[in-house]
Amino acid sequence: MALYQEQNIKVYNSISGEKENFKTLVDGYVGMYVCGPTVYSNVHLGNVRTFMSFDMVFRYLKHLGYKVRFVRNITDAGHLENDADVGEDRIAKKARLEQIEPMEVVQRYTVDFHNILNKFNFLPPSIEPTATGHIIEQIEIIKTIIDKGLAYEVNGSVYFDVLKYNETKPYGILSKRNVEDLIHNTRVLDGQSDKKNPQDFALWKKAEPQHIMRWPSPWSDGFPGWHLECTAMSTKYLGEQFDIHGGGMDLKFPHHECEIAQAEACNGHNPVSYWMHANMLIMNGKKMAKSTGNYILPNEIFSGDNQHITKAYSPSVARFFMLQAHYRSILDFTNNGLLASEKGFNRLLDGINSITDLKAGNKSTIDIAAWRQKCYDAMNDDFNSPILIANLFEGVKYINQIKEGSATISASDLELLQNTMTVFTFDILGLTNITKADNSSDKLEGAVDLLINLRQEARANKDFALSDKIRDELAASGIQLKDGKEGTTFTTN
Ligand code: AMP
Ligand code: ZN
């Protein structure tokens, strides 16, 4: 019997607002789609949090023995500066400002995204399709929606007719908005727009002459609307109906609402069984966001080079920090939070690494099987990683009791204890076993500090050839020295 047949997961479904029993469309298989990044800038820690929540979900479902097809796209066209179909394409704007090709922007930030996710020990998705690789599929969907009478063309652009759609299917079903409120709350059109009604959204936009990201279509040389790519790619790789659709809470409206409307209009049924939304990482009381400048980059966490933190933290400590909050709770990023997580994470690793020193006795005075089930129960309850972590600390308590002799454990339970601790910590939470002793960033810091001191001595002796050599050779290996009032510090790239 597969593990998933023994463990009953409940998933909070954003569309019903309730935790529901998780039942897949096809027994043993899970289709999961998560909206990926718009690759026009470096991913910040907030973006990482959302993707990490779904990495954890992916890991747990795989652990339970499901065959998971996990599709996470790359948005490399169509996402305008303003989510309401106006403004410049984010990637085209960056390309214009930097005087490079849009695809150079895409390449640069896709590579950055992958590097960062690797550092955080993410599993790669099963498929990572791009919007620009699916223009034909998007055009086909638009044609179908026009044929169904739910979209209209004006001056080379095509818009989804929200009011017409709403006559038969509820628009706003996910974000709990109704069209009357939307009409009430949206600005009247200023005469500049081709839309019939302000709540309509673009499926295809005719490119202005200066817009460089453009493709031919039956309506104009232009580009697809942002919401459409996810409908095209999820349908192509997961089918018209699939199990899980995820993304950050801020994507509920309009992005996911429009995805539902497009899929319903095109295929005639609700595309997704479970909508999952990850909550936001905040800093200084506000959402972490690129646009406001209120963000921290993962590499700044790893180097310690940011005003909001007092030291560098390893990727696993940052990962542990984020998984200590439930994915549906807001998480406040603070240096104190990271310091506490570092302590906690080291305590967890110390516990795990000392299991091999434990001696088995004749019988167990601790019920390891019941404790193991509590770990599963936590994850089964809408992927409750903080409760799981609390249970893992319970495991550390057992390890210490056995070590001190206040508890005993049988050989088979000892094996179960070790297996449970490692499987949940490393396979499911995706943490890595880097103890302080072999933490490479600590070692690097020690070595560079030594070179900084030697350079200072060389300067004091007016041996500038040597001091420059130390600085330049460190720079060549990606370590930049910065001389400041407080002394010399370094950053790595
Ligand atoms: P984007 O590249 O802007 O499309 O965002 C990529 C993902 O990051 C989306 O799922 C967003 O919902 C998510 N996201 C953006 N800001 C935050 C944040 N502060 N906390 C958590 N997730 C975020
Ligand atoms: Zn999407």
d(CA 304, ligand 1 centre) in Å? 23
**Cα gap 8→10, rounded to integer Å:** 7
Which residues make up the environment of ion ligand 2, defined by Cβ < 5 Å?
Answer: 35, 230
**What are the pLDDT digits (tens) for 297-348?**
999 999 999 999 999 999 999 999 999 999 999 999 999 999 999 999 999 9
The answer to whether the CB of 75 falls within 8 A of the CB of 38 is yes
437 pLDDT above the threshold of 50: no
| Choice among 58-62, 273-277, 345-349, 486-490 with the minimum mean pLDDT | 486-490
| Cα–Cα distances in angstroms (integers) from residue 397 to residues 352, 384, 391, 392, 424, in the given order | 11, 20, 10, 9, 16
- Residue 186 makes CB contacts below 8 A (sequence gap 6+) with 198, 199
Instruction: Read off the amino acid at residue 53.
Output: S
The pick from 40, 42, 47 for probing ligand 1's pocket by mutation, whose C-beta has the most ligand atoms within 8 angstroms, reads 47
Smallest CA-to-CA distance from 356 within 410, 414, 395 is with 414
- Looking at residues 357-374, what average pLDDT do you find? 97
Percent of the chain at pLDDT exceeding 70: 95
Q: What is the number of other CB atoms lying within 10 angstroms of the CB of residue 485?
A: 4
Q: How confident is the model at residue 79 (pLDDT cuts 50, 70, 90)?
A: confident
d(CA 433, ligand 2 centre) in Å? 34
The answer to whether the CB of 320 falls within 8 A of the CB of 344 is yes
Domain layout of the chain by residue ranges = 26-278, 282-437, 441-492
Smallest CA-to-CA distance from 379 within 331, 340, 429 is with 429
- Residue 68 makes CB contacts below 8 A (sequence gap 6+) with 29, 30, 31, 32, 58, 61, 62, 126
pLDDT at 232: 98
Place of tokens 């810091």: 445
**What are the pLDDT digits (tens) for 187-215?**
655 556 789 998 999 999 999 998 889 99
Give the number of whichever ligand sits closest to the CA of residue 250: 1
Q: What is the mean pLDDT of the chain?
A: 93
What is the total residue count of the chain?
A: 493
Architecture of domain 282-437: Orthogonal Bundle (1.10)
d(CA 226, ligand 2 centre) in Å? 8
SS3 31: strand
pLDDT at 304: 96
**Cα gap 272→269, rounded to integer Å:** 9
Residues with CB under 6 A from ligand 1: 35, 37-38, 46-47, 49-50, 247-248, 250-251, 280-281, 287-289
Higher-pLDDT residue of 383 and 479 is: 383
d(CA 466, ligand 2 centre) in Å? 54
Give the number of whichever ligand sits closest to the CA of residue 263: 2
The pick from 50, 52, 112, 257 for probing ligand 1's pocket by mutation, whose C-beta has the most ligand atoms within 8 angstroms, reads 50
Tokens standing for residue 355: 């299991």
Q: Whose CA is nearest to atom 11 of ligand 1?
A: 248
**What are the pLDDT digits (tens) for 417-432?**
999 999 999 999 999 9
- Looking at residues 349-369, what average pLDDT do you find? 97
**Cα gap 91→109, rounded to integer Å:** 10
pLDDT at 490: 80
- The atom of ligand 1 lying closest to the CA of 282 is 19
**Cα gap 149→476, rounded to integer Å:** 61
**What are the pLDDT digits (tens) for 218-242?**
999 999 999 999 999 999 999 999 9
**Cα gap 287→292, rounded to integer Å:** 9
- Looking at residues 67-84, what average pLDDT do you find? 89
Q: Give 26-278's CATH code, choosing from 3.40.50.620, 3.40.50.2300, 3.30.420.40, 3.40.630.10.
A: 3.40.50.620
**What are the pLDDT digits (tens) for 259-310?**
999 999 999 999 999 999 999 999 999 999 998 999 999 999 999 999 999 9
Instruction: Read off the amino acid at residue 417.
Output: L
360 pLDDT above the threshold of 60: yes
Give the number of whichever ligand sits closest to the CA of residue 234: 2
Q: Based on the number of CB atoms within 10 Å of its own CB, is 407 exposed (0-12), middle (13-18) or buried (19 or more)?
A: middle
pLDDT at 436: 45
Higher-pLDDT residue of 141 and 92 is: 141
246 pLDDT above the threshold of 70: yes
CA-based angle 406:408:410, to the nearest 5?
A: 170
Smallest CA-to-CA distance from 241 within 51, 54, 23 is with 23
Give the number of whichever ligand sits closest to the CA of residue 278: 1
